[in-house]
Amino acid sequence: MKKLYIETLGCAMNVRDSEHMIAELNQKEPYELTEELSEADLIIINTCSVREKPVAKLFSEIGVFKKFKKPGAKIGVTGCTASHLGKDIIKRAPSVDFVLGARNVSKITEVVDKKHAVEIDTDFDESTYAFGEYRSNPFKAMVNISIGCDKSCTFCIVPATRGDEISIPSDLLVQEITKAVKTGAKEVMLLGQNVNNYGRRFGSSEEVCDFTQLLQKISKIEGLERIRFTSPHPLHMDDAFIQEFASNPKICKQIHVPLQSGSTALLKEMKRGYTKENFINRCEKIRSLCPEATISTDIIVGFPGESDEDFKDTMDVLEKVRFEQLFSFKYSPRPHTEAAEFKEQIDNTLSGQRLTKLQARHTEILDEIMDAQLEKIHTVYFDELKSNGRVSGRANDGKLVFIEGSEELLGQIVDVKIIKTSRGALDAVLT
Ligand code: 5AD
Ligand code: SF4
């Protein structure tokens, strides 16, 4: 049997794209996954281009792969960097056999046999393509509900790599999730660049269904016990959506609300479509209707023109919302984006100082939140066997929980009591 080595960088959408590629390749001929590069017949790097660093790393990585791969093994570059660099990847690294964009995943079985094939069309509509089935975790399913992105945030390369937003028809989604439930998944993660913009445009039908209606439809699936989604956009968090989030018992109480900046002036420069006050108001609404919810966020520091005052606004939102999880980044100028052309690019040292300050304060908040979990009861879905006689899973609110145990706990949703806390995870015993 041929062996496949696949490295996945970036976001959950890329993780799902990798699963789709594995499934499609396997329908053509069986592949065994390997973590040993030198054994692989096919090497795929599923790339991310959201920041500059991983793009720079790509070419040194291709060099390493070329050196250690077995003779005749093929190298494919897929994902967002493939979309935005296209044939230049092969020009710069001729050892790459094919390039497949993030919007062209279904063509993996075509390009794999075509020397120097490049498929990167961002208008390609894959929204009704029936991908083969493969799940890296049998207990959970990831499902794309839309492809592409219709926003034009001035810092973000994604609209250029993944194209315009198209929603996948809700009946297809219900079918796909029902199938996953029948084969052991009790939890689904709905994926999209802006999930709560679902239904704005469908590829082929006259369908009318918004995200709140989709959540209601999906929660009717028998045997499905948990629904998660990522990422919603603060701009589309209307009251009906927050109400559904808070009151639907199948929806896990964890929500990602990407802030990017706390400064209304910078949010305008970023073309985010909301103000500092709108953002805080939406988080307050979530906390008031659903006090047990955890809120996570993404923040960029050092966006062009960011003043001390702007940064103070970001720190202020952190104090007010007290995000349970923070993903924070130094601004990185990207090709095909407006902000890369902005005059007032911020000095790297200053961005670094701001990032450190933001992360340090968030760590303090996180420690307080995690310490407060001691003795609490959480409902956890255990889905991973660890090596040291332990099993891990996620609490309803997304916290990582470990417990002593073995296979019999896998696939179980049980109440546990927290006996030890740390910054990243909780230790528990059965109640
Ligand atoms: N520079 C830094 N961070 C970025 N992100 C997106 N584009 C950039 C950029 N040019 C961050 C945003 C987004 C997350 C996935 O990556 O915070 O929400
Ligand atoms: Fe990276 Fe964004 Fe592409 Fe995901 S969509 S892989 S985060 S560039």
431 residues of the chain, pLDDT tens digit each: 999 999 999 999 999 999 999 999 999 999 999 999 999 999 999 999 999 887 778 999 999 999 999 999 999 999 999 999 999 999 999 999 999 999 999 999 999 999 999 999 999 999 999 999 999 999 999 999 999 999 999 999 999 999 999 999 999 999 999 999 999 999 999 999 999 999 999 987 789 999 999 999 999 999 999 999 999 999 999 999 999 999 999 999 999 999 999 999 999 999 999 999 999 999 999 999 999 999 999 999 999 999 999 999 999 999 999 999 999 999 999 999 999 999 999 999 999 999 999 999 999 999 999 999 999 999 999 999 998 999 999 999 999 999 999 999 999 999 999 999 999 999 999 99
**Interatomic CA distance for residues 259 and 237, integer angstroms:** 13
Of 298, 351, 355, the residue with max ligand 1 atoms within 8 A of its CB, to mutate for a pocket test, comes to 298
Which ligand does the CA of 55 lie closest to? Answer: 2
Return the SS3 of 377: strand
**Token pair 């802006």: residue:** 194
In angstroms, what is the span from residue 390 Cα to ligand 2's centroid?
32
What is the predicted pLDDT for the residue at 342? Answer: 97
Q: Give the DSSP H/E element, type plus range, for residue 227.
A: strand 226-230
Q: Where in the chain is the domain with CATH 3.40.50.12160?
A: 2-119
Residue 263 burial (CB count, 10 A): 24
155 C-beta closer than 6 A to ligand 1: yes
Compute the distance from residue 43 Cα to the ligand 1 centre, in Å: 27
- Tell which residue, 229, 237, 245, 238, has the closest CA to residue 289: 245
Q: Are strands 2-8 and 42-47 parallel, antiparallel or unpaired?
A: parallel
CA of 132 to the centre of ligand 1 (A): 31
Which of 158, 191, 270, 300, when mutated, tests ligand 1's pocket best, judged by the most ligand atoms within 8 Å of its CB? 300
How far from 189 is each of 138, 141, 185, 254, 393, CA to CA, in Å?
13, 6, 11, 12, 15
For CATH 3.80.30.20, list the domain ranges present in the chain.
140-371
Q: How far is the CA of 48 from the centre of ligand 2 (A)?
A: 5
Q: Is the CB of 188 under 6 A from ligand 1?
A: no
Ligand nearest to the CA of 11: 2
Q: What tokens appear for 317 in the block?
A: 């939102």
Considering the chain, tell me which residue range(s) the CATH 2.40.50.140 domain(s) occupy: 377-430
Instruction: Tell me if 50 CB under 6 Å of ligand 1.
Output: yes
The pLDDT of residue 264 is 98
Residue nearest atom 4 of ligand 2, based on CA coordinates? 11
Q: What share of the chain is helix, strand, coil (3-state, %, to 5)?
A: 35, 25, 40
Residue-level pLDDT at 54: 79
pLDDT value, residue 56: 78
Q: Measured from the CB, is residue 298 less than 6 Å from ligand 1?
A: yes
Tokens standing for 339?
């902000």
Q: Which atom of ligand 2 is nearest to the CA of 193?
A: 5
CB-based contact 248:215 (threshold 8 Å): yes
The ligand whose atoms approach the alpha carbon of 339 most closely is 1
Architecture per CATH, domain 140-371, reads as: Alpha-Beta Horseshoe (3.80)
Quote the pLDDT of residue 206. Answer: 82
Ligand in nearest proximity to the CA of 332: 1
Q: Is the CB of 156 under 6 A from ligand 1?
A: yes
Q: How far is CA 113 from CA 25, 59, 124, 201, 325, in A?
A: 11, 22, 20, 34, 43
Q: Nearest C-alpha to atom 16 of ligand 1 is from which residue?
A: 50
Ligand 2 atom index nearest CA of 102: 3
Indicate the fold that domain 2-119 takes in CATH. Answer: Rossmann fold (3.40.50)
With beta carbons less than 8 A apart as the criterion, state whether 388 and 414 touch: no
**β strands within 323-399, DSSP E:** 325-330, 377-385, 390-395
Taking CA atoms, 98 is separated from 43, 161, 325, 339, in Å, by 11, 17, 37, 31
Q: Is the CB of 51 under 6 A from ligand 1?
A: yes
pLDDT number for residue 204:
77
The CATH number that domain 377-430 falls under is: 2.40.50.140
pLDDT at 55: 79
Closest atom of ligand 1 to CA, residue 339: 10
What is the distance in A from the centroid of ligand 2 to the CA of 417? Answer: 37
The protein residue whose alpha carbon is closest to atom 6 in ligand 2 is 48
Count of other CB atoms within 10 angstroms of residue 111: 20
Q: In whole angstroms, give the CA distance from residue 89 to residue 112.
A: 16
